[in-house]
Amino acid sequence: MELKPSQKKTIRYQFDSFCRKILREEARDYIRHIIWRSGHEVSISELSEEQMSQLYVLDEYPSEQFHFQVQGFNITVKDEKLANALATLSDEKRNIVMLAYFLDMTDQEIADRLNIVRRTVQYKRASSLKEMKRRMEVEDDGEQSE
pLDDT per residue over 8-42, tens digit each?
Answer: 999 999 999 999 999 999 999 999 999 999 888 88
Backbone angles phi, psi at 89, to 5 degrees: -75, 160
| Better-predicted residue by pLDDT, 58 or 27 | 27
Helix runs in the chain, H state only: 5-40, 49-53, 80-88, 91-101, 107-114, 118-140
Q: How confident is the model at residue 146 (pLDDT cuts 50, 70, 90)?
A: very low
**Contact 64/78 with Cβ under 8 angstroms?**
yes
Q: What pLDDT score does 145 carry?
A: 43
Look at phi and psi of residue 15 and say left if phi exceeds 0, alpha if psi is from -120 to 50, else beta. alpha
- Name the CATH topology of 65-140: Arc Repressor Mutant, subunit A (1.10.10)
pTM: predicted TM-score of the whole model, two decimal places: 0.56
pLDDT in tens, 101-135: 999 999 999 999 999 999 999 999 999 999 999 98
